[in-house]
Structure formats: structure tokens, C-alpha cells
Amino acid sequence: DVKVTQSSRYLVKRTGEKVFLECVQDMDHENMFWYRQDPGLGLRLIYFSYDVKMKEKGDIPEGYSVSREKKERFSLILESASTNQTSMYLCASSPPVRGSEKGAFFGQGTRLTVV
Amino acid sequence: GNSVTQMEGPVTLSEEAFLTINCTYTATRYPSLFWYVQYPGEGLQLLLKATKADDKGSNKGFEATYRKETTSFHLEKGSVQVSDSAVYFCALSGGSNYKLTFGKGTLLTVNP
């Protein structure tokens, strides 16, 4: 089974802190994604990566950056955390284009609270 | 671009009731279609999928049929259980666009 592991289930950080959310997948997937989930808004794509060191902005990249130095690891960085970044963050991975019909596999989520 | 519209919730049913959650989509190319489920406090799990027109995806008693003519992928279950209480997301991915586009989710609560 595919396993996508996020480093923390719950995080509490202070406004202005630099925050790192880590995600690791064990299925050698090319594609990895970061979403945030908010009530009434569903899932919104922040960034995604289709290869090591490659990244593309999603729908809401402002205030975030990402790093993918190794194929299995995709990190989301909040450069200076703000209270409006309090949310549930979900990491996902998927096979390459021909495997898009398989969908994506998700981690358990990190609930981040910025105070 | 791609978009997914699903039934607004919340939906509250009694155990053994029939469930339908509507989902329609807009896509520039023929997409693959998915239903994901999120149980309280958890990430998303793939529930079922269909990759071409008239395909029926099924899992755990849930079904959805890919209807190209109506651009729909409605989720159904004949008899829901309390354990089905969760948020359900309809999603698509299409062609060279491997990104998933999600609907806003539908909260289902099943009462005993």
C-alpha cells in the first residue's frame, strides 16, 4: 500500500515564525502536492511538484514556498506564519501522467494553528 | 479549465436510508473521476473511481457511474450506516493535467 506520511498531526506556531511541514511518500511517485482544507472552501492546491527540484504554483501560493530535494520528500514552508494560515494541510502523491487515472494518495493531514 | 460542483451539505440521514450526493463537472478533456472520503480527523481516502464514460466505480456499497452526456458522477449507496458519517469529495483529473480538482465536499451524518 502507498503510504504518505506527514511529520506532525498537530502544530501550534506563533505569528511571524518560519514553519516547515514535511511529507514523505514511499511509492516512488513523481508527483507530490500540498493542499489546504478550510470549511466551506474544500481543498485548494498550494503548490505541486512533478520531479525533484521542480515545482509549480497552485491556486493559492502566496505566503508559501516548497522544497523537493529528494523524490520521496516534499516540504511546505510558511515563510512568516500568519493567523490566516491556520488550517488543515494535506500532502498527496500520485504516479505520473498515465497514472493520473489512479488518483492521488493522501497523508493524514497536519492541523496548524497560528497564534 | 476544470471544475467540480457537488451538492451542498450537510446531509443528515437515518441508518439504512438511501444516499445520493450529486456531482457535476466541467473539463477541457475527458477526465478521470473520483470520490474521496474523509473520516473525522483523518486525511482523504480514495473511495471509488471511473476512468471513461459509462464506467461504474464501486466500493463498500457505494457506486457512481461516469455519465458523459450529463457530465455527472453522482455517488449512491442503498443503505447507509452510522460508520459512513464523513465528508465526501468529488474530484477529477484529466489528460495531461495530473492535478486533482476537488468539489467543496459534502458532510454526511448518519443517525442510528
10 Å Cβ neighbour count for A57?
Answer: 14
Q: Are B33 and B92 in contact (CB under 8 A)?
A: yes
Q: What is the DSSP letter of A3?
A: -
Chain A residues contacting B via beta carbons under 8 Å: 4, 6, 31, 33, 40-43, 45, 48, 50, 58, 90, 92, 94, 96-97, 99-109
Classify B69 as helix, strand or coil. coil
Considering only CB atoms, B44 lies closest to which of A45, A96, A106, namely A106
**Cα A108 to Cα A4, A23, A89, B28, B77, distances in angstroms:** 8, 10, 9, 31, 25
Nearest CA in chain B to A93: B99
pLDDT for A52-104, tens place per residue? 988 999 889 999 999 999 999 999 999 999 999 999 999 999 887 655 567 78
Q: Distance between CA B49 and CA B55 in Å, rounded?
A: 9
pLDDT (tens digit, 9 = 90+) per residue, B39-73? 988 889 999 999 889 999 999 999 999 999 999 99
C-alpha cell at B104: 467543496
Beta bridge partners of A23: A6
Q: Please tell me the predicted confidence (pLDDT) of residue B105.
A: 94
Q: With beta carbons under 8 A apart, name residues in chain B contacting A31.
A: 98
Torsion angle (degrees, nearest 10) of CA B86, B105, B36, B96: -170
pLDDT value at B101 more than 80:
yes
Other CB atoms within a 10 A radius of the CB of residue B69 amount to 7
